[in-house]
Chain A
Amino acid sequence: MQAAPGDSFVISSPAPLIGALVGAGWRVIGPQEVDGTIAYEELRTADDLPRGRTDDQEAGHYRLTEGRPEAWFDYVVGPQSWKKWLYPSRRKLWSATKTADGFEIDDRAEDYPKTAFFGVRPCEIAAIERQDAVFDNGSFTDTDYARRRAATLIVAVQCARSAATCFCASMNTGPHAEEGFDLALTELDPDGDHRFLLQIGSAQGAALADGLPLRDATGDDHATARLAAAHAAAQQTRRLPADIAPRLKGKEDHPGWQAVAEKCLHCANCTLACPTCFCSDVEDTNDLTGDHTERWRVWDSCFSLDFSYIHGGAVRQDPAARYRQWLTHKLSSWHDQFGSSGCVGCGRCIAWCPVGIDITEEAAVIARDDG
């Protein structure tokens, strides 16, 4: 069958697609159950996928449980995101070696094989696009990120179910993605006529689809997929108002910042789990002789006190100022910087907050006009 971008087909299982990717030499990264959470690790076959699992998420709560046994994709996002592959938590920037009259720099890049991300959710496509804008900001390009990104294929999985923490519908980032993928799967009717809608998003995706056992998608297949997306959207109870960005401006002295700072532990879980947070620190490590030194970039968080340190002390001493930085950056100043929200509504920061702070609630408090 000759596939082209924009086409849709039906396939009976994700297994042949994973087989085709592995066969074509792709490193395939996808969801797996690791220590009771969904993690994105290398897949060898479809059997590595956490089939039959679903998740139970709430503010400060996440648990994987038994789901419908046949369903491949009934869980949504876990604590990890794809940023760990495109923007690793620790990366050697370069190293240097002492010479008689100075030093030599070695900036050879780490190997990044061509990699297929399998099971990217719509909000995660949006998150990757937000980081694309950060790391190619019009003035500078993060060459390592660009290299990884260019070697990455995206196989999306459209959401047919939302967790209680999801609010992508109000952020226009899900539960259904129209673009941003090479291929996209929608799981249809796992309890009955179980099948998958396969959408072709790019020429590269089309080439991969060509070898697969496909049939043309019918009107009924499309209708079932639309219903699945509508069902997922209708499940969402959390939301952020569309005009949240301007409503957070000029609220620096709102008493809500102190109130939330009293609950917040400043553990930085939210920034580490957040798929768009991009802040980093640099570390220098030396061997014992001092003849070899390395510079490493490591994830950092605006919740740490040192983050804003300048001579004489940190700019953001007050925990409330640090929470304010996180929330206003995500939801408001990100628009000024990059023309979009820094939040894609994935709900990770809500589920993974040890004290259950909910960004949608806190934003609503600050946006109210009593500040």
Chain B
Amino acid sequence: MDAANAQDPMVPHRYRVAEVWEELDDVTTMSLLPVDGPPRPFKAGQFNMLYAYGVGEAAISISGDPAVPERLIHTTRNVGRVSAALTRLRAGDMLGVRGPFGSDWPVEDQKGRHMLFVAGGLGLAPLRGAVCQALANRLEYEEVSLLFGARSPDDLLYRSQVAEWGAFSGANVEVTVDMAARGWTGHVGVVTTRLERILGTSDPANVSVFICGPEIMMRFTAQDLTELGVPASRIWVSMERNMKCALGFCGHCQWGPDFVCKDGPVFRYDQIGKRLAIREI
């Protein structure tokens, strides 16, 4: 490559916020439009580095539908400096975007199978695009299921869309919360307590599962699924590690031999399952 003319991958593209939705107390979703060029295609499960002027960058998953690349959708939880600045952005504000980065959910490859999504809390954001893709081709899958767990009913993301998936789009949806609140009539308990039920009568050997949520939840969910007979090579998880570059340069995201930013964030469980159980690796 001609280095002198190559685009420096650390320099962001400028985007502008088109719309903002308040999802939960500390979570907002925004749609972004490019200022400097055409929108770039992405795959479900990939992420961008979002830059808030003067504050810094954060890795945020793309939570939109890859079939609609014109609208870049991101859902952000305010947990610190950069994410606070990102959740403060309003329509018309400018931000920087680098990406898309990383591996994706291989949703097309699971056709013919029972496609199960297991999401914990904000983990539904990186899965949303893949759910949309599967539901757009619903009949090509034996079944499409979503098992969605959150801490409390107030932490349930994309509530109306999840209801719509269950009611109109042909998805088998189960929602469960760790702690019920007044008025909650749904399930109570962690997602692992609902796995057997959501697999239903499907042959476990014909089930594919994408899991996204806290690391401990992914670990136990994947472990229980394999015990229920789902092949480890049909389970995928999405990992989170500190990221400063998303290019394989800064070293921060290393997880054993993998750079989570470019070898992940989506990993196949049979390839990393042992590592998930190693403390502080």
Contacts and interface: CB of A to CB of B under 8 A. Distances in A.
Interface of A: 93-94, 96, 98, 101-103, 105, 107, 109, 134-135, 137, 139-144, 146-147, 150, 252, 278-282, 284, 286, 290, 293, 295, 297, 300, 302, 307-311, 315-318, 321, 324-325, 329, 333, 336-337
Given A300-B251, A300-B252, A316-B280, A93 B94 contact: no
A239 B11 CA distance: 42
A124 to B, nearest CB: 21
Contact of B248 (A101, A140, A281, A325): A140
A70 B242 CA distance: 52
Contacts of A309: 242
Given A93-B11, A280-B249, A139 B244 contact: no
Contacts of B14: 102-103, 105
Consensus secondary structure, chain A interface: mixed
Nearest to B259: A337
Contacts of A134: 248-249
A302 B256 CA distance: 13
A66 to B, nearest CB: 40
A102 B16 contact: yes
15 contacts: A102-B53, A107-B11, A140-B249, A141-B1, A143-B8, A147-B4, A252-B281, A282-B250, A297-B10, A308-B241, A321-B280, A324-B281, A325-B281, A333-B257, A336-B257
B9 A140 contact: yes
Contacts of A310: 240-242
A284 B8 contact: no
B200 interface: no
Task: Give the interface size bracket for B toward A.
Answer: 35 or more
Contact of B9 (A103, A141, A302): A141
A285 to B, nearest CB: 9
Contacts of A278: 249, 251
B241 A315 contact: yes
A159 B92 CA distance: 62
A139 B262 contact: yes
Nearest to B83: A311
B3 A300 contact: no
A321 B3 CA distance: 37
B247 A252 contact: no
A341 to B, nearest CB: 13
A94 B98 CA distance: 14
A155 B262 CA distance: 35
Contacts of B3: 141, 143, 146-147, 150
Nearest to A290: B54
Given A141-B3, A142-B9, A300-B244, 17 more contacts: A93-B10, A94-B8, A98-B53, A107-B11, A139-B248, A141-B9, A143-B3, A146-B6, A280-B245, A281-B250, A281-B252, A282-B245, A282-B250, A308-B241, A310-B240, A316-B280, A337-B259
Nearest to A101: B94
